[in-house]
Chain A
């Protein structure tokens, strides 16, 4: 038996790959659920009804999918250009704390239609800066950005907890470590009343379409893909390599930053150190499940959010740990990598 590279990647296979990957991940996770002593089919039924069966569950799933779409896009655009941004979590948090720092202070008194865009912009810029540091180190000194962007996540999270225990601590929070609130004027409008679902979902989906357009139709999209696929050929063709990668980093970091800003301004209104249950890292999985396709990111983010929300309610009903959601999502990354591989190769005897 040996592996052989396919001459063509059949479109059907490319579309089926994520579905096969997810089904496989669910089957493997099913074994774990069975070991935990719960009925497998019942568990999956509960996950589905938990995520979609009620108004609350449904809107909660969409609310959770919102930041995942943005961090997923952040990873997708970076990975396409072979910029290995593993730092979306840090970009998310720096953006969140930056928004909390300015929204009710510097921008205080601004009307919402100015305040909200300005605050989102601040968040995006914070995210950009967080990725430009590792990229700068790579371009200048050849330092691998996988390591630097990953490690900076911990730096940022510690910085955030320092801020919310210190200068940005909310004096009215009864000693809880949380930041000053962004204020009601900075809160994103709700999509559906009396739920947590906010306009951020629409923003994320529109951005996904814009990113798709950017990648498939513009010179920047073509050049960033060339830079990722073959830096030497890109340079020979006159693609400004460093400039292109910097633009990619601004886009990717900006998207992850936007995720943080939208999460603060859409859901909680203030920053805590558990604002993100790993949205930055899950974004990587979302991007891989989507095969780095911006529109696919929307679907992959929905799947991931479904698992998280559904597993919470399933776990409560059946008394098994809701960590099964993390396990399933992580498994789906592995199965997706295998699936992608088999869209490119086939087995021969």
Chain B
């Protein structure tokens, strides 16, 4: 492609306090091209796109669209020039219809008559052209996350965007939705649009992009054609050193530690069976929203089962509680570390001991010395960087917060570890660290129950795999027999009803 670039960033530099978020970044984008901006959290991807879209004013450098320089710090000018942005966190009004949301900001306040009719036709024709099916009269709050993202994209296209920027578009999507999204992006590129998507996931970058620009520490460290690179090379470029996720060795399963027999939780989980043995990992795979949260809450002691039997260390559990689970030796990593795992405004030491406060208090008084000591052990033992026991937990990055949560559980050598979405949203380096810890615990005899939406994660960590679909669990299959296609079928609910999917029980 030797045509002029539709977009040219030259020498973009942006400093926040003492950190250099963007350091003389220059990027060109050709018409009809899909460019991936790859980098770890904090590499400067989002800052760069915010500058391009006019949210930030750069300290130096220029943005040119089709050869015309954009005034810095003016989002309206960017929109007029044909730049559209789909944010990671949608900016939609939940109680308005799709059409209302798309039209917002396009009409003059002083026009008496709203041209809804024309707008509807335009929206439908765009939707038709790119295969973005959506009902213009649906209330946005009633749509799924994937559909809401479609509305965001339509909104950008409605404003005649020629360049579309997507910030971590798959962070909120299920695998299936992500595939649909990438197919749509292809169609858009073929019809002449130029796309930039921001990501730290290697798989999707390889699958969807024509060209990959790798950012690290605010600098462009490499530029590759997707066809001429590999995941391993990109991973190394992104992290700056060789990272390899740890490899699972064969399990030595021991006693049955945790067992569900025909278990119900209201109508949300029905008739589920699973068995966790010491020294092995049971992986529960599934598309988000199929009951993972309920399962996680049940085994974490937050919910009660309403039917069937739950057995912990060969004893039936009648009334489960958080304290009961922790005292029995169950470590728990919640699926959402920000809303359940830790309290950002509290100190690291407080988050370290809150769930086992009875061990760190006497007569109602908190033993702060012991608590700080425990926090220090976790910080040292689990390589939690970016804070002391007294600093607020909010200051930790996602990966370090997860190490803290994992550490406060593993430091006490639990007999069972429940890990729900343990690496969601983490970058490559942190994922490797978390995986290593989980495998270490398993080797030491802990039984691990892994609930995850990440296929690669489950295949690489689990010894046996069950799929969760609409509150039901498939029979387990040994990881050796699992491949992506088979798991895909299982996640779609396709398994024989007689439960004879595999020999392992």
Of residues 331 through 389 on chain B, the ones whose CB sits less than 8 Å from some CB of chain A are 332, 334, 336, 339-346, 350, 354-355, 357, 361, 364-366, 368
Contact between chains at B302 and A235 (CB < 8 Å) = yes
Q: Does A273 contact B (CB under 8 A)?
A: no
The smallest C-beta distance from B345 to any residue of chain A, in angstroms, reads 5
Q: Does B321 contact A (CB under 8 A)?
A: yes
| Closest residue on chain B to residue A218 by CB atoms | B364
Q: Does B322 contact A (CB under 8 A)?
A: yes
Select one of A8, A225, A235, A349 contacting B346, CB under 8 A.
A225
Contact between chains at B364 and A219 (CB < 8 Å) = yes
With A223-B357, A238-B326 as given contacts, are A230 and B301 in contact (CB-CB < 8 Å)? no
Q: Does A236 contact B (CB under 8 A)?
A: yes
Select one of A217, A220, A238 contacting B321, CB under 8 A.
A238
Complex CA gap A53/B201 in Å reads 71
Q: Does B22 contact A (CB under 8 A)?
A: no
Which residues of chain B come closer than 8 Å to A221, judged between CB atoms?
366
Contact between chains at A233 and B343 (CB < 8 Å) = yes
Knowing that A233-B340, A233-B343, A238-B321 are A-B contacts, what are 5 other residue pairs whose CB atoms are under 8 Å apart, sorted by A's residue number?
A218-B366, A219-B357, A226-B354, A229-B344, A238-B301
Contact between chains at B354 and A217 (CB < 8 Å) = no
Select one of B57, B301, B323, B342 contacting A233, CB under 8 A.
B342
Q: Does A172 contact B (CB under 8 A)?
A: no
Which residues of chain B come closer than 8 Å to A7, judged between CB atoms?
395
Complex CA gap A222/B366 in Å reads 8
Q: Does A237 contact B (CB under 8 A)?
A: yes
Which size class do A's interface residues fall under?
20 to 34
Q: Does B300 contact A (CB under 8 A)?
A: yes
Which residues of chain A come closer than 8 Å to B364, judged between CB atoms?
218-220
Which residues of chain A come closer than 8 Å to B332, judged between CB atoms?
236
Select one of B321, B334, B346 contacting A229, CB under 8 A.
B346
Main DSSP-derived SS at the B contact region:
mixed
Contact between chains at B361 and A230 (CB < 8 Å) = no
Q: Could you give 24 example pairs across A and B, Cβ below 8 Å?
A: A8-B395, A217-B368, A218-B365, A219-B364, A219-B365, A220-B364, A222-B357, A223-B357, A225-B346, A229-B343, A229-B344, A229-B345, A229-B346, A230-B343, A232-B339, A232-B340, A233-B340, A235-B302, A236-B300, A236-B302, A236-B340, A237-B355, A238-B321, A238-B322
Of residues 225 through 284 on chain A, the ones whose CB sits less than 8 Å from some CB of chain B are 225-226, 229-230, 232-239
Complex CA gap A37/B332 in Å reads 67
Which residues of chain A come closer than 8 Å to B323, judged between CB atoms?
238
Number of interface residues of B (CB under 8 A): 30
Quick one: CB contact mask for B425-441 with A, threshold 8 Å, 1 for yes? Answer: 00000000000000000
Which residues of chain B come closer than 8 Å to A222, judged between CB atoms?
350, 354, 357, 366
Of residues 320 through 349 on chain A, the ones whose CB sits less than 8 Å from some CB of chain B are 348-349
Which residues of chain B come closer than 8 Å to A218, judged between CB atoms?
364-366
Select one of B345, B354, B365, B368 contacting A237, CB under 8 A.
B354
Complex CA gap A229/B351 in Å reads 12
Contact between chains at A230 and B366 (CB < 8 Å) = no
Contact between chains at A217 and B334 (CB < 8 Å) = no
Which residues of chain A come closer than 8 Å to B339, judged between CB atoms?
230, 232-233
Of residues 36 through 75 on chain A, the ones whose CB sits less than 8 Å from some CB of chain B are none
The smallest C-beta distance from B404 to any residue of chain A, in angstroms, reads 13
Complex CA gap A4/B302 in Å reads 36
Complex CA gap A226/B16 in Å reads 32
Of residues 104 through 160 on chain A, the ones whose CB sits less than 8 Å from some CB of chain B are none
The smallest C-beta distance from B198 to any residue of chain A, in angstroms, reads 21
Complex CA gap A348/B364 in Å reads 44
Complex CA gap A7/B365 in Å reads 30
| Closest residue on chain A to residue B395 by CB atoms | A7
Contact between chains at A217 and B366 (CB < 8 Å) = yes
Quick one: CB contact mask for B390-433 with A, threshold 8 Å, 1 for yes? Answer: 00000100000000000000000000000000000000000000
Which residues of chain A come closer than 8 Å to B343, judged between CB atoms?
226, 229-230, 233-234
Which residues of chain B come closer than 8 Å to A233, judged between CB atoms?
339-343
Complex CA gap A31/B10 in Å reads 52
Contact between chains at B345 and A236 (CB < 8 Å) = no
Of residues 10 through 69 on chain B, the ones whose CB sits less than 8 Å from some CB of chain A are 16, 57
A-B pairs with lowest CB-CB distance, top 8: A238-B322, A237-B355, A236-B340, A237-B354, A230-B343, A232-B339, A233-B343, A219-B361
Quick one: CB contact mask for B308-327 with A, threshold 8 Å, 1 for yes? Answer: 00000000000001110010
Quick one: CB contact mask for B237-272 with A, threshold 8 Å, 1 for yes? Answer: 000000000000000000000000000000000000
Which residues of chain B come closer than 8 Å to A239, judged between CB atoms?
354
Which residues of chain B come closer than 8 Å to A225, judged between CB atoms?
346
- Residue of B332, B344, B354, B355 most packed against chain A (CB within 10 A): B354
The smallest C-beta distance from B60 to any residue of chain A, in angstroms, reads 15
Which residues of chain A come closer than 8 Å to B321, judged between CB atoms?
238
Quick one: CB contact mask for A2-38 with B, threshold 8 Å, 1 for yes? Answer: 0010011000000000000000000000000000000
Complex CA gap A52/B466 in Å reads 76
| Closest residue on chain B to residue A346 by CB atoms | B17
Which residues of chain A come closer than 8 Å to B365, judged between CB atoms?
217-219
The smallest C-beta distance from B120 to any residue of chain A, in angstroms, reads 36
- Residue of A4, A219, A225, A234 most packed against chain B (CB within 10 A): A219
The smallest C-beta distance from B384 to any residue of chain A, in angstroms, reads 17
Which residues of chain A come closer than 8 Å to B366, judged between CB atoms?
217-219, 221-222
| Closest residue on chain B to residue A4 by CB atoms | B16
Complex CA gap A217/B334 in Å reads 27
Which residues of chain A come closer than 8 Å to B342, judged between CB atoms?
233
Complex CA gap A235/B300 in Å reads 11
Which residues of chain A come closer than 8 Å to B300, judged between CB atoms?
236
Quick one: CB contact mask for B281-304 with A, threshold 8 Å, 1 for yes? Answer: 000000000000000000011100
Complex CA gap A8/B17 in Å reads 13
The smallest C-beta distance from B421 to any residue of chain A, in angstroms, reads 14
Of residues 285 through 333 on chain A, the ones whose CB sits less than 8 Å from some CB of chain B are none
Complex CA gap A348/B73 in Å reads 13
Complex CA gap A219/B336 in Å reads 25
Complex CA gap A219/B365 in Å reads 6
Complex CA gap A225/B393 in Å reads 14
